[in-house]
Amino acid sequence: MALSFQEPEGCAAIWDFVNAVQSQLQAMGHDDNLSDDLADSMGPIMLPSPDLGNLVEIENHMRTAIGTPGGREALAKFILNDKYILKLIPLVEMAEDLESLSDLHRLCSIMKMLVLLNDSAVMDYVVQDEVVLGVVGALEYDPDFPLHKANHRQYLSDQSKFKEVVRIEDQAIRKKIHHTYRLQYLKDVVLARILDDPTFGVLNSLIFFHQVEIVSHLQEDAQFMRSLFATFNPKEPSEQRKKDAVLMIQQCCTIAKNLQGASRAGLYQRFVGHGLMEVIQFALRNPDALVRVAGADILQALIDHDAMMVRGYIFKMIQDKVKPLTDTLIELLLVEADLGCKTLIGDIIKVLLDPNAIHQSLEALNRAPGDYLAKLRASFPPIHSDSFVQSYYEESVVKLFQPLRDLEGRESVDNLTIAEETLFSYLMEMLCFFLRSHYSRSKYVIMSNNLAVRVAQLLGSRKLIIKLGAVKFFRICLCLPDDFFLRQMISQRLFEPILQVVLDTMPRDNALNSACLEFFQSLTRDSLRDALKHVIFHYREKLEPITYVDTFQTLILKYDQYQEPVTTQELDHSFTSVDSGTPIRRGLVNGGKWGEGLREPDADEEAYFNTSDDEEEGLPNASIMNGVSPVRPLVNYPDDDGDDDMEDILATGTTVTPEPILRSQPEQAPTASSAEPVSPPERISEKRRREEEEDDELISIISSSGTKRKAAVQPSESSPNLQKLRRKNSMSHAKDSGAPRKISISIPLKSSGSEDDSNK
Amino acid sequence: MSIGGSDLDKAIAQLRACRPIPENQVRELCYKARELLIEEGNVVGVDAPVTICGDIHGQFHDLMELFRVGGDVPDTNYLFMGDFVDRGFYSLESFLLLLCLKVRYPDRITLIRGNHESRQITTVYGFYDECVRKYGSANVWRYCCDVFDFLALGALVTGAATSLSPTEGPLAENAEAMPDIDADIEIETLNSAGEVMFRYARNSDSQTSESSQTLGSSPARPDPTPTRVGAAGTGASGSSNGTSRNEGGAVLCVHGGLSPLIDTIDKIRLLDRKQEVPHEGAMCDLLWSDPDDIDGWGLSPRGAGFLFGGDIVKRFNHNNDISLIARAHQLVMEGFKEMFDNTIVTVWSAPNYCYRCGNVAAILELGEDGSNAGFQRRSNGDRGGGGGGWVLGSNDGTSTRNSTDNLRLPEGPGRRYRVFEAAPQDSRGMPAKKPVADYFL
């Protein structure tokens, strides 16, 4: 057993405790605490030969026996050796004939006890052909549901559910397939309600081992593989068979996900060798959405297993001047009607078009040893250039976002069809993903295709969902590593349509309006000073009347504060003094707008302005802020979502000079302000620090919300569901098992935390 | 294949029979639902009367029992506080039925997001598997997840009456001594047969706030002695003693609880909610946090959200002029549990949770304040002036900040809890998962 601790104190405390208990036990002279268990192992168990008359007796015997581990073991042994289940089975029909419900209920209870003995040999036995129907037959009469009878026998005896695309010759394997299915049926249907965790585990592992065996057998069976893939031969007349074959391969791949690396690799290698890639392309083009989804599923499994292999295949296609798979996928994405399939294909494209991964794959392909890769490499001359990656990437991206580009010149986006609506929402989401995850590669192609302007066009759609997608895109633009897009937004005046959305939606309180507010609220960040200046400078008249929320007043105030401290600023930037004497424009009454007189709303100026400010990013910026500290308290209008400002406070403690006044502001409420009674949990500051590193919490949130389900689950160690996963595993072992860190330290906090409660 | 009007009613009928609707109808439904939900604020305004429900967790037959006990839609207004899916065997039918009802009667039913309405959680706790099993692909799961992203994060119930008109129903067998019928009834507990099990008058002399009367004891054996229950898991004592008279306030409903980043309800409005539930931050906290017997904030053993103490709740309620926070998220054996001098209540609506926990469930009814007097509907649009709205602490002086003892809290609404047990087993088939239809391997 391994425990990990977040803090050394906690570790030490537990260690002391363990030591104390151990020494106490030794002192008491109990040398063997485990003897209790061993003591109860009892002799062999004998049950009377069953008939309808002695079921009560049998039930009682068993109930006693299963009370102890030894008893259970002995009982399991007896059941198997005596073929006891075979003796019980005829009784079910007898009782049915006699319509003796009480006997049937007793038989059911007995059978339940047998199955729940949690012995894998028993479990394996009950799904054998000769007993399975009898066993589930008995389980149909659950005494907990006296007025119900399930129809397990009917369901399981229906052989038509088993589809055999290609005849599996090996009888043992055929049997195994049926057994596995029955085990799953037991797990999902018959026992679903009563399964305890250990039995669930036993069932799962049995199923797993069977599947491994089946899949490994099939992949070794060359004849089988040939016939399977031969179904895709154009000569094969039956479309249905082809579909079934795709579905079967999909099922193989699903199972393969649980296989160990080596055997999984073997399976895929054989699959690919027999033409899996062609099968995928066939499936993706199939008119039946179910088959398309299956095809995409297979491809995703393949990518999960070995993305490099798939990329190698694509490179080869490019070399051979065949339309690469990614292009096919992009075309499909753009026309796919099935929303689920669309998402799946989109996820695949996201993975395949990751330029860094493309690059790495290329590199690896160029030097990697190994059978398959070597073969692949030999088939085409080494491509080893960054320009290949960039051009491949850009070409694909252009194709992908073609529908957005086509918006150019379109007069109105009011009349989007549902299909277009879905597509545009999806493409905007993709765009966000590209900006976030491969910014350096994508920024040029997105910029040169003017996609930001196209997205701004979509802000004019009537559909809230489209507008929301567009606002989200621009929100991402605000927190990118450089101000490339910010400048475009400023020069193309793209804040205007977003502001228009606010004006259109306010004061309605809806998701779109909230997203807009969040967008403008983020302008209070120091790193977005230019954007703030731009927005206020140009749209002040529009903003001033918006009073249904504070956001815009806050922005204006912040803006004014940037301008206000002329005296201080004069010290730093003497050129601001130019301001004095220039007429105050646009009837703005708040004095000291040093920028106003100076700046014309002209692109060059703005660009200049931006570049100059660019240098202020990061630390220098902060130091300037501190330098202005005497007037800072006024300036420092607190941020709502607790970003930079609060980070500083929490991260650096209270030693920073400008804080005293800030701290007295009620704003910092539950976390920092009234710090006396409400001390912020450590995690906040910890969080803050992390956020700081990531520049923007949005990035972390979105990037971790991930593209693929699996990918999203894995990386975040502390993510709620992993935490819960672990808890789930440890549920049966209660609290003393390898509990996750956060839990182990929090036990003292909670007086009587029960597993179930905290697991909602 | 439009799912408007009668088709929708057909779908509702089919789902009520616990039979899933075809995939294309799900797609249509989800599309409609999204259009509807995007128009809702992050905190939905809801008028009393309304019945507030906690976790459902795919226990379809118990949801039907809930409707039986609480009244059917659209006759009763409902507010579900999330966690519709996972764990139970009928997440799909439960969620789709609620969604259908939402689309059919948008003003009669409110759905807010729970921590299980998330891609990550549903892949682990059953909803994903269930969709794949029932439809053969994950498509339906994806549609539903898209809807999850649009669900509101909370709701604010206004116009709730501060006292109940006593139910005219018979008294339950073990009912305790009742206050005068003309007294100002604050709390009433009914069993699933509509019999009164417990009634509590505001400021009644016999039960001062000091002798805390434990509410939420099992309907079978109401606990006659005042006890403080250190309920398992929550580590908090439950007590329900009447609040003192004061000006009225609204009820905030949220799945998990409060967030250190949110000190006014209006701040919730500033979140861009259309996203997967993040691992941290305000939105995460609202869906994951739990109240606990601590001071201030504490780490949550769940690994997401925080624990928050009574001082936090009281200050929040005071600052936001709300009288009660209703939340779900934690199993309560008695179905509901009031904490911190009735400032927060946990409502749990999944009886015999996971088909084995043996708990009862509850729903919380808030009556309508006929006159709606003295309460102004909280509408952000009405807010004037720049200074007021978002600025923290605009509602109170700093003097009350550090001490929660002398906070004057708004008067709590009259609360009628209907407690119910798992649906009788005859009314449903055996709970079972549907098996995979075809198999190749």
What mean pLDDT comes out for the span B343-372? 87
Question: Could A666 and B393 be called an inter-chain contact, meaning their C-beta atoms sit closer than 8 Å?
Answer: yes
Query: Tokens at residue B88, please?
Result: 């139970």
Interface test with A, best of B44, B61, B113, B270 (most A CBs within 10 A): B270
- Cα A250 from Cα A59, distance rounded (Å): 44
Interface test with A, best of B144, B280, B313, B377 (most A CBs within 10 A): B280
Asked if B110 contacts B252 with a C-beta cutoff of 8 angstroms, the reply is: no
What mean pLDDT comes out for the span B306-317? 94
Residue ranges per structural domain of chain B: 23-160+247-420
Query: Tokens at residue A71, please?
Result: 């008893």
Q: Angle CA(A336)–CA(A342)–CA(A348) in degrees, nearest 5?
A: 125
Residue ranges per structural domain of chain A: 54-189
Question: Could B136 and A290 be called an inter-chain contact, meaning their C-beta atoms sit closer than 8 Å?
Answer: yes
- Cα B138 from Cα A340, distance rounded (Å): 7
Question: Could B42 and A509 be called an inter-chain contact, meaning their C-beta atoms sit closer than 8 Å?
Answer: yes
pLDDT at position B14, please? 92
DSSP label of A190:
I
Closest listed residue to residue A454, CA positions, set A436, A433, A431, A476: A431
Question: Could B272 and A518 be called an inter-chain contact, meaning their C-beta atoms sit closer than 8 Å?
Answer: yes
Cβ neighbours of B184 (radius 10 Å): 16
Q: How confident is the model at residue B226 (pLDDT cuts 50, 70, 90)?
A: very low
| pLDDT higher than threshold 70 for residue B427 | no
Question: Could A340 and B142 be called an inter-chain contact, meaning their C-beta atoms sit closer than 8 Å?
Answer: yes
Task: Give the residue with greater pLDDT, A634 vs B366.
Answer: B366
pLDDT tens, position by position, B164-215:
877 776 777 766 666 766 677 888 888 888 888 888 887 654 443 333 344 4
A746 touches chain B (CB under 8 A): yes
pTM of model > 0.90: no
Whole-angstrom Cα Rg for chain A:
34
pLDDT at position A758, please? 41
pLDDT tens, position by position, B15-55:
998 889 998 899 999 999 999 999 999 999 999 899 999 99
- Cα A431 from Cα A483, distance rounded (Å): 17
Interface test with A, best of B265, B272, B380 (most A CBs within 10 A): B272
pLDDT at position A204, please? 85
Closest listed residue to residue B26, CA positions, set B151, B121, B145: B145
Distance from CA of A25 to the nearest CA of B (A): 30
Closest listed residue to residue A713, CA positions, set B286, B121, B283: B121
DSSP label of B157:
E
- Cα A278 from Cα A232, distance rounded (Å): 9
Closest listed residue to residue B159, CA positions, set B253, B247, B40, B248: B248
Distance from CA of B10 to the nearest CA of A (A): 23
Distance from CA of A193 to the nearest CA of B (A): 7
Q: Which residues contact A53 (CB under 8 A, 6 or more apart)?
A: none
DSSP label of A637:
P
Asked if A579 contacts A597 with a C-beta cutoff of 8 angstroms, the reply is: yes
pLDDT at position A694, please? 41
ipTM above 0.90, yes or no: no
H or E element, residue B299: strand B297-299
pLDDT at position A756, please? 43
Q: Among residues B61, B116, B255, B329, which one is catalytic?
A: B116
Asked if A478 contacts A702 with a C-beta cutoff of 8 angstroms, the reply is: no
What residues of chain A, 683 to 702, have a C-beta less than 8 Å from chain B?
A: 683-684, 687, 697, 701-702
Which chain B residues touch A728 with a CB distance below 8 Å? 124
Distance from CA of B177 to the nearest CA of A (A): 32
Distance from CA of B104 to the nearest CA of A (A): 20
Q: Which of B89, B261, B288 sits opposite A641 (nearest CB)?
A: B261
Asked if A107 contacts A85 with a C-beta cutoff of 8 angstroms, the reply is: no
pLDDT at position B33, please? 95
Query: Which SS3 state, helix, strand or coil, does residue B229 take?
Result: strand
Range with the largest mean pLDDT of A348-357, B222-231, B374-383:
A348-357
Dihedral, CA of residue A189, residue A193, residue A198 and residue A200, to nearest 10 = 20
User: A394-408, B166-180, B277-291, B420-434: which range is least confident on average?
Assistant: B420-434
- Cα A591 from Cα B289, distance rounded (Å): 46
How many A×B Cβ pairs under 8 Å?
A: 357
Please list the residues that pair with B79 across neighbouring strands. B52, B110
- Cα B119 from Cα B96, distance rounded (Å): 16
| pLDDT higher than threshold 50 for residue B238 | no
| pLDDT higher than threshold 70 for residue B406 | no
- Cα A44 from Cα A307, distance rounded (Å): 55
- Cα B359 from Cα B218, distance rounded (Å): 9
**Residues in chain A where the model's pLDDT stays below 50:** 31-41, 568-680, 682, 684-760
The identity of residue A712, as a single letter, is A
Residue of A nearest to B121 (CA): A721
What mean pLDDT comes out for the span B318-324? 92
Give CA A644 to chain center in angstroms. Answer: 28
Question: Could B55 and A760 be called an inter-chain contact, meaning their C-beta atoms sit closer than 8 Å?
Answer: yes
Residue of A nearest to B256 (CA): A760
CATH class held by domain B23-160+247-420: alpha beta
Residue of A nearest to B431 (CA): A193
- Cα B380 from Cα B384, distance rounded (Å): 9
Clarify whether B116 is annotated catalytic.
yes
Q: Which residues contact B153 (CB under 8 A, 6 or more apart)?
A: B42, B43, B112, B113, B254, B268, B271, B273, B283, B286, B287
Crossing angle of the two packed helices B60-70 and B91-104, in degrees rounded to 10:
40
Which chain A residues touch B275 with a CB distance below 8 Å? 701-702, 705
Closest listed residue to residue B272, CA positions, set B286, B264, B262, B283: B283
pLDDT at position B262, please? 93
Torsion angles phi and psi, residue A206, rounded to 5: -60, -50
Question: Could A664 and B380 be called an inter-chain contact, meaning their C-beta atoms sit closer than 8 Å?
Answer: no
pLDDT at position A713, please? 36
Query: Tokens at residue A656, please?
Result: 């920073």
pLDDT at position A28, please? 64
Asked if B238 contacts B215 with a C-beta cutoff of 8 angstroms, the reply is: yes
